[in-house]
Structure 1
Amino acid sequence: MHVGILTNFATPRGGAEKVAIESARGLAERGVAVTLLHGVDGPADPMLDHPGVRRIGLGLTDVWERPAWRGAIEGIWHREAARRLARALADLPVSPDVLHLHQWTRSLSPAVFAVLARSGRPVAVTLHDYFLACPNGVYYRFDKAAPCALRPLSPGCLAAPCDPQSRAHKAVRVARSVVQRAAIGRGFTRHPIDLVHVSDGSRARLEPMLAGGPFRHHRVDNPVRVERAESAEPACGDAVAFVGRFTREKGADLVAEAARRAGLPALFVGDGPLEAELRAVPGAEVIGWRAPSEVETLLRRRARAVAAPARWLETGPLTVYEALAAGIPAVASDRAGAGERIRHGETGFLAPPEAGALAEVFGRLKDDATVRRLGQAAYDRYWAAPTTLDAHAEALCGLYAGMTAAAEAPSFQRSAVM
């Protein structure tokens, strides 16, 4: 089998690229030929250094780095991205059996859906966020600091000042969503797009939003890039750790404030717009981004727990799964996909994304016996049914086999849902 994987970058700028890159490696290790096509050129993650992985950069520019007017145009419909992708696919010595798209908003744009449809190959899309349905991608009201409850592209949605930047940005994102829907509706009339959901919660929310479209729905866990080792000793740690982008929707500010109230240090790995605010909170330490191996070592040494108290309806933050695999308790928002993997009071805690509720939970982490018990239970439970890279690749191979078989079937029911 030959699989073409598409994403914006060849380095993990976020969860989507991280999963795309690790999927490529996992599939290659199972003997699958992989071509990774990424919009923006640049250094590649070492995970892609495998003889079974071919890497093709399309030489595009991140739309965030463009002048505003140019970024808006290319974000809505990037003709050059479509042309270069079509040429890259045509030039491959062997055509992929399946094409799998992970992210497209930063360089590829909805124009790539037209190319994928014309390819005639089965197409999968992993939904790391809500961009296939929601204009701002996170189904979150930034004006209200709360999850959205509106139907995407409904009159209420169009009128809502929900964008994190401005109404002008909202208008551009609405235009992108409209042309995206049109491209999918026009292009995928013979075969559906196979959508991969990474948590039960995100599937339950997205499936109704996408009802009536040419989609089949599947559930595949994201891979956890942690080699099995001895369980960590979180009771020896000193801090509550947050790993990721420092934004309010991800709850970075909640971790800092709740840790301060609980009398625990807070360790922040990453960067983002709240960095200066976090540095000003007593007891908060910000160390910037680190390589995955460094992060794992740091968490094993410093973390009493890893916290991910997202305000938005996060699909499935990888940091929580990685913490559980290492034997570190996790604290997650009770509205995030990660909560499905935490047994409240057994392997970690679930809490509403509010500083007071989190401070109460963090206070329980000051007890060494509690932290030790939670960490060991997290480790035991994770490794009883691990979502390893190999397990992820095996699930993808099963998905691709079903997709290719369906594509060869004499008829197709447009409304089919799996």
Structure 2
Amino acid sequence: MRIVILADQAIADGGAPQVAIASARGLAALGHQVTYIHGVGDAGDPVLDTTPNIARIGLGGVDIWSKPALAAARDGIWYGEYVERLSAILRQFSPEDTVVHVHQWTKYFSASLFSVLRKSGLPLAISFHDYFLTCPTGLKYRFDKAEPCTLAPLSGACLVAPCDPRSMAHKLIRFARTVAAGRALKSMPFTVIHVSEQGRRTIGSYLAPDIAQHVIENPIEVPRPSGPRGGIGSKIVYCGRLTAEKGALLVAQAARAAGMPSLFIGEGPLRAAIQALDPSTEITGWLDKAAVRERIAAEARVVVAPSLWPETGPMVTSEAMAAGVPVIISERAGASARVQDGVTGFVIPPEIEPLRSAMLALKDEGLARAMGQAAEAAYWADPPSIENHARKLVAVYEALVRRRR
């Protein structure tokens, strides 16, 4: 089988491209021919250029949202510069043995991508790492109310809701993009791949009934510990973008209330607010994967992910569990399905008091160690490996091709 993976980027600087690259490797290892096409830049992760069965094509573009405002608004909705080149590339493939899998489209390709794919006639799968194909902000979250959105996507109420984190003008651009994508996909058969049951519950009911929906957990690539975790850290660790919807400030507030030191691995607009709240906290900025694993293994009492939005992931909690570190995770996060409340960590509503209470419980070193051991055992009993992920994808792809014959 031949698989064309489409993503805005070929550098793993976020969850979606990280999964796209990992899936390319997994599919190639199973003997399938993978073509990885990305819009931003010419360079990509070296693994895409050195792994057998993978061909990488960079379109050499820039992130749409780095352009001047008017150009970004225009191209963010419908960008046409790449269309002829991508169309020519796709004409080399046959719907008899090829599937296109879209992982990202909002930073370069825009809604015009789906018009190109419709004309190609190739079977299509789309991963929902976020909700942009149905929800203008991509998060199903009201930034104006700091709560999950209950409005029907693209309804009149959705149109006028001031829910965007930037401005109403930005919301209207995103709204137009989602409408344009929907029109391009109208009556076109495709398959949606959710990365968690939470993702399917959040957005699945808003999709057309004839759209096939599957849940395939994101692949996690971590080394198996050679033995029991040695020491146990003392810090509350948060890893990710420092934003309100991911609960970064909530972590700082709860850690301070619990009287526990904190470590933030990542970057974002709340850096100054977190440091103002607790000047003693360390904010590392972005680190590579190996450095993240080392800091968590050496310093974490617990890894915390108190997402306020109905997050499809995150992956960091599974990575922490694999290393023998317990987690505290929001009940709204898709990755909470892997956490057994009170055994491998705590599943909580994303509020300061439940978060503080969970942190206080883990001041008990014996409990933290026992939960960490249980978390490690649970993870490795059923690891979401790249190989398992790729085999599940192939089953979906084969069904897609059969439907088109």
Q: TM-score range by the shorter chain?
A: over 0.9
Alignment partners' CA distance in 1, 2:244 and 2:129: 19
Within the alignment, does 1:238 sit opposite 2:234 as a pair? Answer: yes
The residue that corresponds to 1:277 in the other structure is: 273
> Structure 1 counterpart of 2:39, which letter?
G
Answer yes or no: is the 8 Å Cα contact 1:235–1:369 preserved in 2.
no
**The residue matched to 1:248 in structure 2 has which SS?**
coil
Answer yes or no: is the 8 Å Cα contact 1:237–1:302 preserved in 2.
yes
**Structure 1 residue 262: Cα displacement:** 1.1
Alignment partners' CA distance in 2, 1:184 and 1:169: 23
Alignment partners' CA distance in 1, 2:327 and 2:27: 29
**The residue matched to 2:84 in structure 1 has which SS?**
helix
Alignment partners' CA distance in 2, 1:24 and 1:243: 25
> Structure 1 counterpart of 2:348, which letter?
A
Alignment partners' CA distance in 2, 1:356 and 1:84: 54
Answer yes or no: is the 8 Å Cα contact 2:231–2:298 preserved in 1.
no
Of 383, 386, 389, which residue of structure 2 is paired with 1:386?
Answer: 383
Answer yes or no: is the 8 Å Cα contact 2:77–2:180 preserved in 1.
yes
Answer yes or no: is the 8 Å Cα contact 1:235–1:304 preserved in 2.
no
The residue that corresponds to 1:172 in the other structure is: 173
Answer yes or no: is the 8 Å Cα contact 2:322–2:376 preserved in 1.
yes
**Structure 1 residue 232: Cα displacement:** 5.9
What pairs with 1:73-84 in structure 2 (closer than 5 Å)? 73-84=74-85
Question: Identical aligned pairs, as a percentage?
Answer: 45
**The residue matched to 2:347 in structure 1 has which SS?**
strand
The residue that corresponds to 2:68 in the other structure is: 67
Alignment partners' CA distance in 1, 2:326 and 2:380: 14
Instruction: Indicate how the Cα distance of structure 1 residues 263 and 231 shifts in structure 2: closer, same or farther if over 3 A, else same.
Output: farther
Moved more, 376-385 or 278-287: 278-287
Answer yes or no: is the 8 Å Cα contact 1:135–1:177 preserved in 2.
yes
The residue that corresponds to 1:414 in the other structure is: none
Following superposition, which runs of at least 4 residues in structure 1 exceed 3 angstroms of deviation? Answer: 90-96
> Structure 1 counterpart of 2:111, which letter?
P
> Structure 1 counterpart of 2:241, which letter?
R
Instruction: Indicate how the Cα distance of structure 1 residues 94 and 159 shifts in structure 2: closer, same or farther if over 3 A, else same.
Output: closer
Q: Describe the superposition over 1:18-45 as per-residue Cα deviations: whole angstroms up to 9, x where unpaired.
A: 1001111111122111111001015422
Q: Describe the superposition over 1:290-341 as per-residue Cα deviations: whole angstroms up to 9, x where unpaired.
A: 1112211221111111111010010111111111122211111111111111
Within the alignment, does 1:373 sit opposite 2:374 as a pair? Answer: no
Q: What RMSD over aligned residues (CA atoms) do the two structures have, in Å? A: 1.7
The residue that corresponds to 2:245 in the other structure is: 249
Within the alignment, does 1:99 sit opposite 2:100 as a pair? Answer: yes
> Structure 1 counterpart of 2:33, which letter?
A
> Structure 1 counterpart of 2:226, which letter?
E
Answer yes or no: is the 8 Å Cα contact 1:224–1:318 preserved in 2.
yes
Of 316, 319, 322, which residue of structure 1 is paired with 2:319?
Answer: 322
Alignment partners' CA distance in 2, 1:279 and 1:52: 47
> Structure 1 counterpart of 2:393, which letter?
L
Instruction: Indicate how the Cα distance of structure 1 residues 55 and 96 shifts in structure 2: closer, same or farther if over 3 A, else same.
Output: farther
Within the alignment, does 1:347 sit opposite 2:348 as a pair? Answer: no
Instruction: Indicate how the Cα distance of structure 1 residues 76 and 231 shifts in structure 2: closer, same or farther if over 3 A, else same.
Output: farther
> Any stretches of 5+ residues in structure 1 without a counterpart?
409-418
Of 261, 267, 277, which residue of structure 2 is paired with 1:265?
Answer: 261
Alignment partners' CA distance in 1, 2:10 and 2:264: 24
> Structure 1 counterpart of 2:221, which letter?
R
**Structure 1 residue 120: Cα displacement:** 1.5
> Structure 1 counterpart of 2:177, which letter?
R
Instruction: Indicate how the Cα distance of structure 1 residues 95 and 35 shifts in structure 2: closer, same or farther if over 3 A, else same.
Output: farther
Answer yes or no: is the 8 Å Cα contact 1:234–1:304 preserved in 2.
no
Answer yes or no: is the 8 Å Cα contact 1:313–1:337 preserved in 2.
yes
Instruction: Indicate how the Cα distance of structure 1 residues 43 and 261 shifts in structure 2: closer, same or farther if over 3 A, else same.
Output: farther
> Any stretches of 5+ residues in structure 2 without a counterpart?
none
**Structure 1 residue 74: Cα displacement:** 0.6
> Structure 1 counterpart of 2:31, which letter?
G
The residue that corresponds to 1:143 in the other structure is: 144
What pairs with 1:4-403 in structure 2 (closer than 5 Å)? 4-48=4-48, 49-90=50-91, 97-185=98-186, 188=188, 192-212=189-209, 215-230=211-226, 233=229, 236-280=232-276, 281-403=278-400
Moved more, 70-79 or 112-121: 112-121
**The residue matched to 2:308 in structure 1 has which SS?**
coil
**Structure 1 residue 182: Cα displacement:** 0.6
